[in-house]
Amino acid sequence: MLVRKLRLWSGILIAIYVVPHVLNHALGLISLNLMEKVREALALIWFDPPGALIIILAFAVHFSLSLATLYNRSTLRMPVWEATQIGLGLLIFPLLLAHVIGTQGMAKVIGFVPTYELVISALWINDPIRGVQQTFMMFVVWGHMCVGLHFLLRLKPWYRRWLPLIYGLALLIPVLSFLGFANVGEKLAIKAQSDPKYLNKLFEPIIKADPEVYAFLKGLEPNLFAFFVVVLVTVLLGRWLRRIYLNRHGVYRLSISGRRVLTAPIGQTILETLRIAGVPHASVCGGRGRCTTCRVHVGEAWRELPNLGDVEKKALARIGAEPEIRLACQTSPRKDLKIEPLLPPNARPEDSNRRGGIQGREQKVVIMFLDIRGSTKLGEDRLPYDVLFILNQFFAEMAQALEETKGHYAQFNGDGLMGLYGINGPIEDGCRNAIKGAALMARKLDILNTNFEKELREPLRMGVGVHVGDVIVGDMGPPDAQNFSAIGDEVNVAARLESLSKDYGCFLVLSKTVADLSGVDLSTYTSRETKIRGRESTIEVFSLDDPRILNF
């Protein structure tokens, strides 16, 4: 917990230092004098103790803890964004060496003020290759910071609302920074061409510096870079040796949804085990315990698992999780374990605070069920392939009718399907569109019957039931094959209405609630009370032979 907080707050301190620094470069589009005035103000905070010591310590802590995190990882398999953040972070140290030594280091030892005029002249005129390197460093630091802040804040409810503006600023600021730097560089280059003595006067403190001191400072960069390489290689080698050691000191078997079994060393988290095996698994925060999207159901085995840590306890308490729910990124089993993933691999930030395995929300929607009448007769004198062809044509046309009337295909159940309306709009529109959808299905059924006239003994017939009510909608089903659907008592009612269409000998049965909300004129029809199996109360419905004649 302490390590996480140190890494987080050291990163925030660095961001507080970097953002004004980068913004100040953009002021070069206005004037060098304005840049210098802001630099002088910032220097009061960061150039001398205690500010200089604080920011150097923040960089050292953040980098050291990042290496420690890299060492502790059991696998380098990770999402692209996480690999990008780590890669950019590792690039910062070698790229930053020249900047720190050439400004802070030389300025303190030799004794001069690293003004923008001096630094930009050195990078733009004297050593443009170094200028390109420092520009690249700026983009690397900014990119690493943005990725880190994005995945820190993306779980906040307000963040999504401001995302377009934040993305725009994240892209615009470094571009303006470079343009400001380039604008001043060009003006200084023109000044140097017009005055041959300009650069000598500007770099006089460096030219007159003790050659041995200057050589020592210049030699620091390759020496520190070599140190960085040694440290990085040591960390990667240490990871490899650590894994060999763990594999020889006990393993556990991980069963996923009762289908796949993986073997992993004791001490390795569930998420790391899944990543090493290449098994897709949700982890919005990258396995830091900030979200709960990697949660899994462990059943009664929770009693034998290591106790919850502070990070995991806080995250699971936020969603009111039962003891059988654990975070894959925080749980390191010591015995064989069976798990059931609760969210799909493509879970989003907004899913982190949702309970259970169904990513649902309660919503009033319109539910439609449709079914082919007498589908078993299709196979009596036809090859299975022919039956399949006819059914595929039927469902393709019905799914198209759903799409054309703003419906959503939810489920397939052999010789019927389920559709939803009103998911993304007013429920009144959903009810009206559902009736329009039934009418369009009737038209498409007639076309199908005309096309298959020679192949069918008798025309295809179908029944449709439509109801509206509060249900749970969301991504449901096995983690490997989830689809957006709905569950609830009102869904069962809609299915019963579809069955009633067979009893009533009609094409469409819809509840009076749907009719009233739709605004469609059904004054020429008489509603009837009907008993729904599984319900004590009755429901009022309309039965229609042909919804195509309705006036929409």
Distances (CA, A) of 437 to 158, 235, 446, 512: 37, 62, 14, 17
478 to 205, 278, 312, 483: CA distances (angstroms) = 70, 18, 25, 9
Backbone angles phi, psi at 478, to 5 degrees: -60, 150
Tell the residue number behind the tokens 């009837």, with chain if given. 528
- Give the whole-number percent of the chain exceeding pLDDT 70: 93
Beta-bridge mates of residue 373: 461
Among candidate residues 270, 272, 263, 271, the one with its CA nearest the CA of residue 239: 272
Mean per-residue pLDDT, 492-512: 93
Is pLDDT above 90 for 248?
no
Average pLDDT over residues 379-392: 73
* 236-257 average pLDDT score: 83
Query: Is residue 31 helix, strand or coil?
Result: coil
73 is written with which tokens?
Answer: 């990882």
* Whole-angstrom distance, CA of residue 19 vs CA of residue 173: 9
Measured CA to CA in angstroms, residue 467 lies from 76, 79, 349, 416, 508 at distances of 50, 42, 32, 16, 11
Residue-wise pLDDT tens digits, 526-539: 999 998 876 778 89
Half-sphere exposure of 197 (CA within 13 A, CB side): 1
- Mean pLDDT of the 219-223 span: 87
The pLDDT, as a whole number, for residue 379 is 57
Chain centre distance of CA 507? 44
Side-chain half-sphere of 426: how many Cα atoms within 13 Å? 6
Would residue 267 be called left, alpha or beta, if left means φ above 0 and alpha means ψ between -120 and 50 degrees?
left
H/E run at residue 89:
helix 80-100
For residue 478, pLDDT beyond 70? no
d(CA 327, CA 311): 10
Residue 342: strand, helix, or coil: coil
Q: What letter represents residue 15's amino acid? A: A
Q: Which candidate, 291, 349, 281, places its Cα nearest to that of 318?
A: 291
pLDDT tens-digit readout, 79-98: 788 888 889 999 998 888 87
CA distance 148 to 164: 17
**What confidence score (pLDDT) does residue 358 get?**
45
- Amino acid in position 374: G
pLDDT tens profile 143-189: 999 998 988 888 787 888 898 999 999 999 999 999 999 999 999 99
Taking the C-alpha atoms of residue 3 and residue 15, their distance in angstroms, rounded to an integer, is 18
Mean pLDDT (the chain) is 87
- Which domains, from first to last, does the chain contain? 2-243 (1.20.1300.10), 251-353 (3.10.20.30), 359-549 (3.30.70.1230)
pLDDT tens-digit profile of 325-340?
899 999 999 999 988 8
Banded pLDDT at 142 (limits 50, 70, 90): very high
% of the chain beyond a pLDDT of 90: 45
Query: Which among 347, 156, 79 has a CA at the least distance from the CA of 166?
Result: 156
Instruction: State how far the alpha carbon of 284 is from the alpha carbons of 156, 352, 501, 535, in Å.
Output: 13, 8, 46, 42
What gap in Å lies between CA 152 and CA 285, rounded to an integer? 8
d(CA 409, CA 421): 9
Query: Which residues lie across from 463 on neighbouring strands?
Result: 371
Q: Is 106's pLDDT higher than 50?
A: yes
Read off the pLDDT of each residue in 239-258 and give the average, rounded to a whole number.
81
User: φ and ψ at 331, to 5 degrees?
Assistant: -105, 125
Q: Does the structure show a pLDDT above 80 at 361?
A: no
Q: What is the pLDDT of residue 179?
A: 97
Name the band, by pLDDT with cuts 50, 70 and 90, for residue 359.
very low
- Which helix (H) or strand (E) segment holds residue 530: the answer is strand 528-531
